[in-house]
Chain A
């Protein structure tokens, strides 16, 4: 990093605040450390011995026992599987519903647009406890049995707004002329979408999907209202908090974390490759600073 710093310093901007040179990096380092502490706790305590099969604060010695007995608690495993199912399905539905809506909202004026905008903003600003409570009342009113289905419905209701916002923002920052050009050349709007718009917004679709996935797999509050008999990972863990958490919770948390890191890192590498290609073509001076 120091090499990188000096390289940037050589950029020649003399008027730098003194504090940015030293204080800022230290501050950033400390905050970064702070964000890592709970992650470290989770990973390390997954290796702690636990004679009662519950996590304890005291370090009792290193063991990989919990990794060997990872799926011993059948309820916990199935709760995790349910969580993943819910997250995948609800994110897919949210994307399928959200992308066309975002296209219309970004590109067209139409009847009901303002109301839809308002609905989306209200949705984004509604506290989850209110969303969960009102949905519960509604599901009961229409006699819909609570279970994995209602969890998915509820998660989609929240993440579809997020998807729309993200895609719409991406579309707003894009030039419409490309699509128009394609259409002028005789392509149908459908073809224009597949050939031009689609590829351009695919990173946004990906991040929208990932964000809905993250929102869904993490949700406790809404799910706790509409789950019926179905338990998701957060619900199971919250229930176990009352009497002590089995180490498997931290181990599974660690594994989810590792998988997440791998996926994200792979995405990063792919992105930086394509960026490098782009840079090679356009050769911009990129390492400027304040």
Chain B
């Protein structure tokens, strides 16, 4: 057998199992919902393919509010996660000294608590007569009727907290990967620490920020559990709508169309964003 042939075939063989899995259980299902979205009908009479492209503008206009809200909540919680985590990751990477690993470990502790329990504890903490509010009410800082649960604030708080480790990890990896001599060179060039940060450290950590924003942003925008457990009458996110339409109303065309719109909106965001920061960086954070 020729070496050339082997060279061509080996990678195909190596990737075949993973490719199979990804196609069978990710790509094909995804394509099939495109088809499903273009059908019309109901559960009793069945759904027929009518190329009903009109469902897309309808779905978007009917649920524009929930789409907007998802991106708003997702955006805010991503920004907050970055604001919270960047300085911490920075401090650990540059000032952590020999305890770096321990600090990082402490930072990632929430990973070890189940996602659902993380949300539940916030329901606990923010409840009307929970730890925080009852204390504030006792000292008269807030009115007796004040509540946090069922408000956008609670949903955003839940989303933010849930995603903190996913922001911290890539940002830390990027910051930690910055070579010492690069900073030394910058120190020689720039007088102020701020300039050094802006011209050297920030750009060099951009891949980590990019990866963090992707990870956190996408999972926040598509989430429905935080809104379900912590939210109120006007905090419904698009994930909740998709879930309801799929599972409860069996409006498959609408649910599929909403899923695809969400997916495409996020992909567009990723692509545009990648233009500015380079799409390869998503892979780089993990190293």
Contact = CB atoms under 8 A, between A and B. Distances in A.
A and B touch in the complex (CB under 8 A): yes
Interface of A: 1, 4-5, 7-8, 13, 15-17, 20, 24-25, 27-28, 31-32, 34-39, 41-42, 45, 55, 57-58, 96-98, 100-101, 103-105, 107-108, 110-113, 116, 119-131, 133-138, 141, 153-154, 156-157, 160-161, 164-166, 168-170, 172-173, 189, 204, 214, 217-221, 224-225, 233-234, 237-238, 241, 245, 249-250, 253, 256-257, 260-261, 264-265, 268, 271-272, 286-290
B225 A221 contact: yes
A34 B106 CA distance: 12
A128 B36 contact: no
A163 to B, nearest CB: 9
B137 interface: no
B180 interface: yes
A268 B201 CA distance: 27
Most buried by A among B116, B193, B263: B116
Contacts of B222: 127-130, 221
Nearest to A164: B18
Interface stretch (B51-59, B118-126, B139-147): B118-126
Contacts, number: 302
A67 B107 CA distance: 27
Contacts of B69: none
Given A127-B219, A129-B259, A290-B94, A265 B25 contact: no
Contacts of A16: 193
B266 to A, nearest CB: 6
B1 interface: no
Classify chain B's interface size: 35 or more
B15 A42 contact: no
Interface of B: 7-8, 10-12, 14-15, 17-19, 21-23, 25-30, 32-33, 36, 84-85, 87-88, 90-92, 94-95, 97-99, 101-102, 105-107, 109-118, 120-125, 127, 129-131, 134, 161, 164, 180, 183, 187, 191-194, 196-197, 201, 214, 218-219, 221-225, 229, 239, 242-243, 246-247, 252, 255-256, 259-260, 262-263, 266-267, 270, 279, 282-287
Given A39-B113, A129-B242, A165-B286, A104 B124 contact: no
A31 B255 contact: no
